[in-house]
């Protein structure tokens, strides 16, 4: 009989604590819903008629988020590639070997003072140029990596993801340009980009070095995109205190 009593007491104590926690869980329940609500149709930027249009600020925010994410993933891919395929001494000579970045020729500002001087329009156009010039090389990079024997799946997945996201980023920028600058814009002009030529399949070492250069250049350019877009955002909100 005393055993029963002990057990019942114990159960009561447990119940009390559980109820207390349960109350908390119940209170937090509604918050589950709020985080899952989808925002409006960003992916349908090309055809504005299909859904209610998104505001410019939100669009810019979204674009910046995209750019940040692209940069982060490209940084991870680059370091992963570096660890796996590049011998240590060559790791610090990213751009020295002779493979210049493909976007070198583009007229993109490269210092803060320069950037301070260019207009919003040019900022956007620079971003667009960058994005458009990287779409094809990323596809090439994907095929090149597939040829590797020991390329880890993570690397392949990341590069694939990046190339996909880049396309959607391009779409976003186009829409933004249309909104901000009221310009009709060519959506994509890939074929004009003569920056990248397909080579006959190079030998392995060369291929590795070329891919490494590609990845590190892309990482840099992604950072450029991100920075420009953030600057642009700052200019939207507070024109005079920004860069």
Partner 1 sequence: MKKVVEVILLLLLSTVHAKGKRFSPPGKPALTRCRSPEKETFTCWWEPGSDGGLPTTHALYYRKESSETVYECPDYHTAGENSCFFNKNDTSIWVNYNITVVATNALGSAFSDPVDIDVVYIVKPNPPEKLAVTVMEDKGWPFLRVSWEPPHKADTRSGWITLIYELRVKLEEEDDWEVHLAGQQKMFNVFSLRSGGTYLVEVRCKPDHGFWSEWSSTSYIKVPDYFHREKSVWILITIFAAFIFLILTWLLQINSQSLKDCILPPVPGPKIKGFDEHLLKNGKSDDVFIALGVSDFPPTTSSNYEDLLVEYLEVYVPEEQELMLEESKDLHDGCLKSESSTSDSDSGRGSCDSHTLLMDKCGEAKEEEEEERETVRESSRMRTEAQRCQKGWEEHGDMVSPDMSSGRVKTWPSVFSPLPQYSSSPQDQQRSLEMAKQHSLSTSSYLIQPGHSTREVLGPSYWDRQPHLLHPQTQVRQAHSDVNISNIASKQSSPGSLSPALRGTEYVEVQRVNEEDMVLLQPVVEGCGSMEGCPQIPQGEDYSKVKGVDSGNVLLLQREVMEGAVCREMNGGTGNCYMSSSVRSSLKLSACSHTAMPVQEEAALAVTGYVDTATMSRLPIC
- The dihedral over CA atoms of 134, 189, 143, 224, expressed in degrees to the nearest 10, equals 10
Nearest approach, Cβ of residue 171 and partner 1 (Å): 22
Q: Which of 19, 200, 226 is nearest to 127 (CA)?
A: 226
Please select the residue that binds partner 1; options are 72, 165, 178, 179, rule is CB under 8 A: 72
The number of helix segments (H) and strand segments (E) in the chain equals 6, 0
Please select the residue that binds partner 1; options are 24, 88, 92, 198, rule is CB under 8 A: 92
> Per CB under 8 A, which region of 40-48, 81-89, 117-125, 230-238 contacts partner 1?
230-238
Kindly write out the interface string for residues 38-57 of this chain, putting x where it contacts partner 1 by CB under 8 A and - elsewhere: --------------------
In this complex, which beta carbon is closest to partner 1, that of residue 69 or of residue 139?
69
> Per CB under 8 A, which region of 40-48, 103-111, 155-163, 191-199 contacts partner 1?
103-111
CA dist 147 and 190 (Å) reads 24
For the chain, the residue count is 243
Given a contact cutoff of 8 angstroms between Cβ atoms, the answer to whether 127 and 225 are in contact is yes
Helix axes 204-237, 120-146, angle to 10 degrees: 150
Positions touching partner 1 (CB under 8 A) are 1-2, 5-6, 9, 13, 64, 68, 71-72, 75, 92-96, 100, 104, 110-113, 220-221, 223-224, 226-227, 229-231, 233-235, 238, 241-243
């Amino acid at each position: 009989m005393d055993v029963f009593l002990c057990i019942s007491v114990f159960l009561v104590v447990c119940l009390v604590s559980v109820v207390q926690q349960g109350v908390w869980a119940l209170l937090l329940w509604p918050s589950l819903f709020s985080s899952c609500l989808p925002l409006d149709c960003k992916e349908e930027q090309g055809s504005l008629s299909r859904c209610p249009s998104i505001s410019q600020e939100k669009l810019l925010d979204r674009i910046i988020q995209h750019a940040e994410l692209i940069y982060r993933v490209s940084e991870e891919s680059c370091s992963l590639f570096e660890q796996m395929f590049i011998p240590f001494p060559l790791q610090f000579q990213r751009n020295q070997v002779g493979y210049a970045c493909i976007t070198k020729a583009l007229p993109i500002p490269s210092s803060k003072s320069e950037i301070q001087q260019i207009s919003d329009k040019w900022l956007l156009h620079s971003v667009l140029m960058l994005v458009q010039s990287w779409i094809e090389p990323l596809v090439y990079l994907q095929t090149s990596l597939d040829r590797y024997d020991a390329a880890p799946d993570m690397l392949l997945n990341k590069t694939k993801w990046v190339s996909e996201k880049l396309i959607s980023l391009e779409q976003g920028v186009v829409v933004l340009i249309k909104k901000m600058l009221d310009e009709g814009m060519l959506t994509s002009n890939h074929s004009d980009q003569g920056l990248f030529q397909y080579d006959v399949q190079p030998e392995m070492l060369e291929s590795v070095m070329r891919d490494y250069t590609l990845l590190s250049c892309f990482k840099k350019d992604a950072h450029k995109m991100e920075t420009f877009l953030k600057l642009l955002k700052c200019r939207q909100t507070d024109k005079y205190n920004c860069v």
